[in-house]
Amino acid sequence: MDLHEYQAKEIFRDHGMPVPPGTVVTDASEAAAAARDFGGMVVVKAQVHSGGRGKAGGVKLAKTPEEAEAYAEAILGMEINGLTVEKVLITPAEDIASEAYVGVLVDRVTQAPMFMVSSEGGIDIEEVAHSQPEAIRRLSVDPRYGLLPHQAFWLANSLYDDPAQIKQAAKIMGQLYRSFVDAGASMAEINPLIVTPSGEVKAIDAKVSIDDNELFRKPAIEAYRDSAAEPQAETDAREAGLTFIKLDGNVGCCVNGAGLAMATMDLVKFYGGEPANFLDIGGSSNPEKVVNALRIITADPAVKVILFNIFGGITRTDDVANGIVEATRQIDIEVPIVIRLTGTNEEKALEILEGAGFSAYTSMDAVVERAVELATQG
């Protein structure tokens, strides 16, 4: 689950981090009032679950309350990477002498939190990571001990020369690490971490993603969920008890079991295709789950083919077959459906499918190859 900037900043502030204050508004007139309260210049910032807001025109510096209102008017309702802006954050504008990047995420290779910091912060950090990877200092943290003071200083030391700034930054690293752990985050990022002309180090942007598996034990974090700001498909999937992640390809995948779903996506890539989604319909899949899954997949206009890969263990393949047949009655599906299913009750499943004019594969390779072929043709 992604948090909004203002929510991430709340967590950072609770951990003592120097973060400028802010007011969230949903209406342009409230933006003017908030700007007046702060006095002086403010920044109007789109609150959407997307990076690159600055480049998309979702971050604007306003000199007067009237200007803040006009920017809020323009930004509210704006689309940034397919997400509509429903809220803006009004925050006092800071004078910036330098911008750095500080992030911590769960690293798969070391299976531990990994810090990444760079003095080349700001809106082009992805470009920096790509073109000058040596400009990023990395540190793996042993979660048993947390971020140790000398490690925090080692990181801060690569950002600044001034001892007072290094000291402030080291403290912020510790606060970021505590925020990351306490929130159950998979990623927590400050970009930019700024130094003001008077030498104060502050976090003026915040990005936090929560590991969904932490949410059940962190109700205060779950309460940050803003369904209106999440992709519709993900909200629908969560409500239907499906694990779904939208991707950029055109092969819609409907699979039982997370491992098989990953293997299926790998195979789609192997045969030259691109998956449109990750979808795990779960262990005991009743026909209704399949109908919901197909509704979600077909709502994506990019999908050119739907690929079922079902291995029947606890999942009864006849349930899945019934779900597919039922779904084609309820939903107007315009793209081809290819099915591989094997395991529990497969004879029954094949009978059901054949009765409805479908045929099914038993080989995973064959079905994926066919799906990719159909996706490229269509």
Please report, as ranges, the residues that interact with ligand GDP according to CB under 6 A.
43, 45, 51-54, 59, 61, 93-94, 96, 99, 122-123, 191-192, 204-205
Residue nearest to Mn ion (CB): 205
The least CB distance from residue 343 to ligand GDP, in Å, is: 46
Q: Tell me how far CA of residue 157 lies from CA of 17, 34, 117, 153, 154, in angstroms.
A: 18, 37, 10, 6, 5
Q: Which does 53 bind (CB under 5 to 8 A by kind): Mn ion, ligand GDP, none?
A: ligand GDP
The one catalytic residue among 5, 120, 189, 234: 189
Q: How far apart are CA 72 and CA 32, in angstroms?
A: 9
Residue ranges of alpha helices (H) inside the chain are 5-14, 28-38, 65-75, 125-131, 149-157, 163-183, 219-222, 232-239, 258-270, 287-298, 317-330, 346-355, 364-377
The least CB distance from residue 190 to Mn ion, in Å, is: 8
The least CB distance from residue 92 to ligand GDP, in Å, is: 7
Q: Which does 141 bind (CB under 5 to 8 A by kind): ligand GDP, Mn ion, none?
A: none
Among the listed residues 239, 264, 270, the one whose alpha carbon sits nearest the alpha carbon of residue 252: 264
The pair of three-digit structure tokens given for residue 148, joined into one six-digit string? 């140790």
Among the listed residues 365, 360, 289, 362, the one whose alpha carbon sits nearest the alpha carbon of residue 327: 289
Q: How far apart are CA 184 and CA 218, in angstroms?
A: 8
The one catalytic residue among 101, 160, 177, 361: 101
- Is residue 191 involved in binding Mn ion (CB under 5 A)? yes
The least CB distance from residue 53 to ligand GDP, in Å, is: 3
x/- contact string, 197-236, with Mn ion (CB under 5 A)? --------x-------------------------------
- Of the CA atoms within 13 Å of residue 97, those in its CB half-sphere come to 10
x/- contact string, 145-184, with Mn ion (CB under 5 A)? ----------------------------------------
Instruction: Pick between residue 18 and residue 54 the one whose CB is nearest to ligand GDP.
Output: 54
Q: How far apart are CA 131 and CA 361, in angstroms?
A: 45
Q: Report 250-289 residues binding Mn ion (CB under 5 A).
A: none
Q: How many residues bind Mn ion (CB under 5 A)?
A: 2
The least CB distance from residue 38 to ligand GDP, in Å, is: 11
Instruction: Pick between residue 98 and residue 151 the one whose CB is nearest to ligand GDP.
Output: 98
224 labelled catalytic: no
- 10 Å CB burial of residue 92 (0-12, 13-18, 19+) is middle
Q: Which does 94 bind (CB under 5 to 8 A by kind): Mn ion, ligand GDP, none?
A: ligand GDP
Q: How far apart are CA 308 and CA 255, in angstroms?
A: 6
The pair of three-digit structure tokens given for residue 267, joined into one six-digit string? 């195979």
| Amino acid in the structure at residue 277 | N
346 labelled catalytic: no
Instruction: Pick between residue 55 and residue 138 the one whose CB is nearest to ligand GDP.
Output: 55
The least CB distance from residue 118 to ligand GDP, in Å, is: 13
Q: How far apart are CA 112 and CA 186, in angstroms?
A: 10
Instruction: Pick between residue 103 and residue 257 the one whose CB is nearest to ligand GDP.
Output: 103
Q: Point out which residues bind Mn ion (CB under 5 A).
A: 191, 205
Catalytic residues: 101, 189
